[in-house]
Chains A and B, each alone.
Chain A
Amino acid sequence: MNLKATELRLGLPGTDESQKEYSSFVKSNKRSSEGMDSSCNEEECATAPKAQVVGWPPVRSYRKNVLQQQQKKSDSDVSGMYVKVSMDGAPYLRKIDIKVYKNYPDLLMALENMFKCSMGVYSEREGYNGSEYAPTYEDKDGDWMLVGDVPWDMFVTSCKRLRIMKGSEAKGLGCQ
């Protein structure tokens, strides 16, 4: 039974499906009147991810690689990394630039000064157990994590916001 003949697909009858893959970017209606067609094209463009057309723009790979490496360096130097900081019971939030700090003790000291609280010392096993407050953060995946578990550099790039939790509530995070 020739099911292919009844298949619904794009393309002229009698042509093979593989044909429609030939053109990576040719737009067919661009010469028509602006109104309708341009809006169709815009929609097309809006839904499709920014086209990674092979070999376009015509920049050689060694140039692309060099720029990417240098971009990462310069981006991290130039822009700050401001995140919101909330503290349980405080009436309003603060914002800090975590790039300014070199390591966890630096950050914790700054937070303690800013919010006039004490968070104690981090330990892998116990977290900030025993302290009045404990610092937590929301990472890229939306999960709430205890500050201090991952290497500092990783923390800086994955931290989206900070929350200084009451020690009693943070107990769950610190224990094994």
Chain B
Amino acid sequence: MAYSFPEEVLEYVFAFLSSDKDRNAVSLVCKSWYEIERWCRRRIFIGNCYAVSPQIVIRRFPKVRAVKIKGKPHFADFNLVPEGWGAYLYPWISAMARSYPWLEEIKLKRMVVTDESLELISKSFKNFKVLVLSSCEGFTTDGLASIAANCRNLRELDLRESEVEDLSGHWLSHFPDNFTSLVSLNMSCLGSEVSFSALERLVSRCPNLKTLRLNRAVPVEKLPSLLRRAPQLVEFGTGAYSAEIQTDIFSNLVEAFSGCKHLKSLSGFWDVVPAYLPAMYNVCSRITSLNLSYATVQSPDLVELISQCPNLKCLWVLDYIEDAGLKALSSYCKDLQELRVFPSDPYGAEPNVSLTEQGLVTVSAGCPKLQSVLYFCRQMSNAALIAIARNRPNFIRFRLCIIEPQAPDYLTLEPLDTGFGAIVENCKELRRLSLSGLLTDRVFEYIGTHAKKLEMLSIAFAGDSDLGLHHVLSGCESLRKLEIRDCPFGHKALLANAAKLETMRSLWMSSCSVSYGACKLLGQKMPRLNVEVIDERGSPNSRPETCPVEKLYVYRTVAGPRVDKPDFVWTMDEDAALRLS
């Protein structure tokens, strides 16, 4: 009595599956489901561009419309990955240009994108709609001009936090006069001034514009003109928010903001003159997301603004907010879900603001929905961490950066093991954790025992021995990404848990004690991993095998050793791997 649904029916059903996990599960049921699914998958996510090759992707999924690709490891954000390491977009675009003529979306993170790639994108995909370049680099504003000029159906152009060589602001003027489809524009990372009249006209003729994030070069007196032309805006980022105080600028701004009844998210605020903040008070009651992380404004002014935002869900702010400001936040913003507090003076020897562990304790107590935290501070205690953990067992992301490496509990001078232990024990849904302060192997024992849902762990200047690393690799069942710097971990835990590495996306270890010999051994033992030794001191063969490597990046791959390595990267046991593939 074996009959199955016709293909068309299965395809119809599969169309309702949007999550990759579900689609992957479906494709494992049987061969025919695998075949049907692969022909109808429209969106793919590639978490590591070197885990698979463009050819393999295209062969399996011939009808893709949207790709999301991530390149360099996360620590590249902090200059730990040398320039020229890799993550080039071009090979992907060149392959997709031939095979995916109907591609609509490209979203990238930490990839090297050239003007050539951008031009190829703009000319190859007739229905191209969405380009998101997050923390990318390698292109200039000329590349943006190609996109503007050729992508007739473009909806989103988002350059968030990318490093763009800013040759001029002319690129914006390349959007044709009959181009009206823009929904989202984020140019906040650019330096040059764009033609303001071109910007005004663009905003005027795009009725669906929902997100507009300007760059620093747009002065505050020009904002009203833009806001008046786009009262439907939902997300808005200002430019420099400063000018000499003039009543007419202020009143224009108030009026313009008042006209935007749908604004939910505000950002920008470079060079803020506090007197201009009240211009936004009329929209504050609807605001759910506020990025004040460039606003060098003192706590009282911040509190004044925040106290008007009862619906705030996400706040990014500098430590100028201080403990007092965080206390106010916890009383006014009961819906708060995400908080990021950045350091205003990360290299100063002495604290320049009164922001301590107390601020975080207060917010964790007062904001019942708080689930995601990034907090830079200068002192922490186990007592505070325990209190935070008990207050907020619903944390999903907890990233704490105590600025001084290996800083102990400032009250007891003990390591912060028990504090972080409380976090992992209480927060059973924790997916991401960043550690700091003085930590022994014990904290890793707690993590391995309790952090069963942990997917990403960042470790710096912590631990005593390989036992610490072993606890993590053997205990954290859901671990996908592990990044470690300046820890006394050698090869023992790595080699003992080599199989674990195939269940993870990647492992990064820099300034640790993993010997070259151990790296070679790992490469030999695990042919489906790329074990990359990154060392700018020259070939590791010129040093004894016991010598630790500078940096190690291990990731699972079906594409074999990569062919675009620079001269400071070696893939271990490349020969054996090539023979096997």
Complex CA distance for A107 and B537, rounded to whole angstroms: 56
Q: Is B294's CB under 8 angstroms from A27's CB?
A: no
Q: Is B77's CB under 8 angstroms from A60's CB?
A: yes
B35 close to A (CB within 8 Å)? no
Q: Is A64's CB under 8 angstroms from B346's CB?
A: yes
Q: Which of chain A's residues 56-75 have a Cβ closer than 8 Å to chain B?
A: 56-64, 66-67, 70-71, 73-74
A23 close to B (CB within 8 Å)? yes
Q: Is A59's CB under 8 angstroms from B346's CB?
A: yes
Which chain A positions have C-beta within 8 A of B304? none
Interface-facing stretch out of B64-72, B321-329, B399-407: B399-407
Q: Is A60's CB under 8 angstroms from B486's CB?
A: no
Which chain A positions have C-beta within 8 A of B257? none
A92 close to B (CB within 8 Å)? no
Which chain B positions have C-beta within 8 A of A27? 406
Which chain A positions have C-beta within 8 A of B79? 54-55, 61
Complex CA distance for A90 and B296, rounded to whole angstroms: 44
Nearest Cβ in chain B — how far from A66, in angstroms?
A: 6
Given known contacts A16-B544, A67-B344, is B486 in contact with A62 (CB within 8 Å)? no
A19 close to B (CB within 8 Å)? yes
The one of A53, A62, A70 that contacts B405, using a Cβ cutoff of 8 Å? A53
Q: Is A50's CB under 8 angstroms from B544's CB?
A: no
B461 close to A (CB within 8 Å)? yes
Q: Which of chain B's residues 313-353 have a Cβ closer than 8 Å to chain A?
A: 342-347, 349
Q: Which of chain A's residues 15-54 have a Cβ closer than 8 Å to chain B?
A: 15-16, 18-19, 22-28, 30-31, 34, 50-54
Interface-facing stretch out of B1-9, B203-211, B259-267, B545-553: B545-553
- State the majority secondary structure of interface residues on B: loop
Q: Is B401's CB under 8 angstroms from A18's CB?
A: no
The one of A22, A30, A70 that contacts B271, using a Cβ cutoff of 8 Å? A70
Q: Is B406's CB under 8 angstroms from A15's CB?
A: no
Which chain B positions have C-beta within 8 A of A64? 346
Question: Interface size (A, Cβ < 8 Å)?
Answer: 36
Complex CA distance for A86 and B546, rounded to whole angstroms: 66
Q: Which of chain B's residues 182-210 have a Cβ closer than 8 Å to chain A?
A: 189
B33 close to A (CB within 8 Å)? no
Q: Is A63's CB under 8 angstroms from B293's CB?
A: yes
The one of B403, B438, B440, B513 that contacts A23, using a Cβ cutoff of 8 Å? B513
Q: Nearest chain-B residue to A14 (Cβ)?
A: B544
Complex CA distance for A31 and B413, rounded to whole angstroms: 12
Q: Which of chain B's residues 504-541 have a Cβ closer than 8 Å to chain A?
A: 511-513, 537
B161 close to A (CB within 8 Å)? yes
| B373-414 vs A, Cβ < 8 Å mask (1 yes, 0 no) | 000100000000000000000000000010101100000010
Complex CA distance for A28 and B406, rounded to whole angstroms: 12
Which chain B positions have C-beta within 8 A of A55? 75, 78-80, 485
The number of A-B residue pairs with CB atoms under 8 Å apart is: 99
Which chain A positions have C-beta within 8 A of B344? 67, 71
The interface centre, meaning the residue of A52, A57, A74 with most chain B CB atoms within 10 A of its CB, is A57
B113 close to A (CB within 8 Å)? no
The one of A15, A23, A28, A50 that contacts B547, using a Cβ cutoff of 8 Å? A15
Q: Is A15's CB under 8 angstroms from B346's CB?
A: no
Which chain A positions have C-beta within 8 A of B161? 60, 62
Complex CA distance for A6 and B161, rounded to whole angstroms: 53
Complex CA distance for A25 and B78, rounded to whole angstroms: 16
The one of A15, A60, A73 that contacts B78, using a Cβ cutoff of 8 Å? A60
Complex CA distance for A52 and B77, rounded to whole angstroms: 16
Complex CA distance for A23 and B461, rounded to whole angstroms: 10
Q: Is A62's CB under 8 angstroms from B163's CB?
A: yes
Q: Which of chain B's residues 422-445 have a Cβ closer than 8 Å to chain A?
A: 438, 440
B310 close to A (CB within 8 Å)? no
Q: Is A16's CB under 8 angstroms from B543's CB?
A: yes
Complex CA distance for A14 and B543, rounded to whole angstroms: 11
| B139-172 vs A, Cβ < 8 Å mask (1 yes, 0 no) | 0000000000000000000000101000000000
B253 close to A (CB within 8 Å)? no
The one of B77, B271, B343, B464 that contacts A73, using a Cβ cutoff of 8 Å? B271
Nearest Cβ in chain A — how far from B45, in angstroms?
A: 23
Q: Is A30's CB under 8 angstroms from B511's CB?
A: no
Q: Is B78's CB under 8 angstroms from A22's CB?
A: no
The one of B464, B487, B513 that contacts A22, using a Cβ cutoff of 8 Å? B513
Binding site for B on A (CB under 8 A): 14-16, 18-19, 22-28, 30-31, 34, 50-64, 66-67, 70-71, 73-74
Given contacts A31-B464, A54-B78, 8 further A-B contacts (CB under 8 A): A19-B543, A22-B511, A23-B512, A50-B349, A55-B485, A66-B270, A67-B345, A70-B294
Binding site for A on B (CB under 8 A): 75, 77-80, 161, 163, 189, 270-271, 293-294, 296, 342-347, 349, 376, 401, 403, 405-406, 413, 438, 440, 460-461, 464, 485-488, 511-513, 537, 543-544, 546-548, 550
